[in-house]
Amino acid sequence: MTANPISEDGSLSGSRLERLLRAGHFAVTAELGPPQSTDAGVIRAKASLLRGACDAVNITDNQTAIVRMSSIGAGTIVLAEGLEPVIQMTCRDRNRLAIQADLLGAYALGMRNLLCLTGDHQQFGNHPTAKNVFDIDSVQLVQMVTAMRDDRVFQCGEAFDGPEPRFFVGAAAAPFGGPVEYRPYRLAKKAAAGVNFVQTQLIYDVPAFGRYMAKVRELGLHERVFILAGVGPLKSPGMARYMAKNVPGLLVPDELIDRMTEAGAAWAGKPAEELTPQDKKARAAAWKAEGIRICVELIGRIREIEGVAGVHIMAIEWEEAVRPIAEGAGLLPRPTLEEAAAS
């Protein structure tokens, strides 16, 4: 028997993120990285920085292949703190049995949003000698969880009784990964697999993203999938240069690197030993302020692109930046569900 795909509120999952998106609100999601320990206090502190500044918060799953508290474990704490988590699930560390089992548990614990990822290769993390799994990939993961939700079947095809996990199913999109001309079609593949929303890799080159979105619109994908553009504040010119050079699928225009460099111009040209700790602190603050300014401007420009349903703010280990960015971009206060229902 096929389960009813839409609940009374018009959503698949009942999640706040989904309901706001379906009501046509420009959504804001953020990211929370769990600690490399059992410290729930870290999560609560980060949650308080993000509460009210976004609609839902991604809880990363051993991001960059470094062991951290599990996404579902940390998500439970986030939920108790009054925020809505987006559980991230990678294919690197679990096979199809473990993924399905963990997702049944996550749903029972109250998680409603899920982001399906392939996962960074373990060689980048702190256990490079580990065996990876990759039993299924992100596209197949999307297929698996949508079939669990819509057809109440496990991946093996076996039907199950009892309530099904009704997730709002997301995935990642890398508009500038190689081969660039295939990327809109890979999104089409994820749409065909049943994905409901995607969050993109960090966007700094708005015209290039605009070209990607033009193709996405041509394929009609923006009408089938909610597309949240990934944005993030630059912290320093060094970080900007590093990302431009070393992170696959990331375009950082020279103009932005120059702006970051310019922001620290007052301290430029001095040898490091001549800079006092106060100098360094002031320079870091100037860089960060410029990084936030740039991010706010990027959101403004990205919002103009037809088919963009929201932004995903990735402030890596800098959760303090999310509120000023959302505020600066005119995205606060976030709408309530009552407002969503009324609109």
Partner 1 sequence: MITAERKPLEEVKDLIGEARNVLVMGCGTCVTVCFAGGSREAAELVVSLRMATRLAGAPREITETTVQRQCEWEYLDEARADVEQADVIVSLACGIGVQAIAERFPDARVVPGVNTTFLGMPTEHGIWEERCAACGECILGITAGICPIARCAKSLLNGPCGGSEAGHCEVSPDTPCAWQLIHDRLQRLGVLDVLMQPQPPKNWKSSRDGGPRRIVRDDLRLAGEQE
Which ranges of the chain would DSSP assign to H, the alpha helix?
Answer: 16-22, 40-50, 71-80, 96-108, 138-150, 183-193, 206-218, 237-246, 254-263, 277-303, 322-328, 337-342
Question: Which CB atom, from 193 or from 240, has the smaller least distance to partner 1?
Answer: 193
CA angle centred on 321, ends 110 and 56, rounded to 5°: 20
Query: Is 64 one of the binding residues for partner 1 (CB under 8 A)?
Result: no
The helix or strand, by DSSP H or E, that contains position 309, with its residue range, turns out to be: strand 308-313
Q: Is the peptide bond before 179 cis (omega within 30 degrees of 0)?
A: yes
Pick out residues in 111-150 that bind partner 1 (CB under 8 A): 118-121, 123-124, 132, 134-140, 143-144
253 binding partner 1? (CB under 8 A): no
Taken as a whole, the chain contains a residue count of: 343
Options 14, 35, 177, 307; binder of partner 1; rule CB under 8 A:
177
In the complex with partner 1, which residue's Cβ is closer, 204 or 287? 204
Choose one: 8-16, 51-59, 106-114, 173-181; the region binding partner 1 (CB under 8 A): 173-181
Q: Considering the rule CB under 8 A, would residue 192 count as an interface residue with partner 1?
A: yes
Peptide bond preceding 333 in cis form (omega within 30 of 0): yes
Q: Which of 78, 174, 256, 326 binds partner 1 (CB under 8 A)?
A: 174
Largest CA distance in the chain: 73
Site for partner 1 in 279-318 (CB under 8 A): none
Select the span of 58-66, 189-197, 292-300, 332-340 touching partner 1 (CB under 8 A): 189-197
The closest of 330, 301, 300, 334 to 23, measured between CA atoms, is: 334
Give the residues lining the site for partner 1 (CB under 8 A).
Answer: 91-92, 96, 118-121, 123-124, 132, 134-140, 143-144, 155, 172, 174, 177-179, 182, 185-186, 188-189, 192-193, 201, 248-249
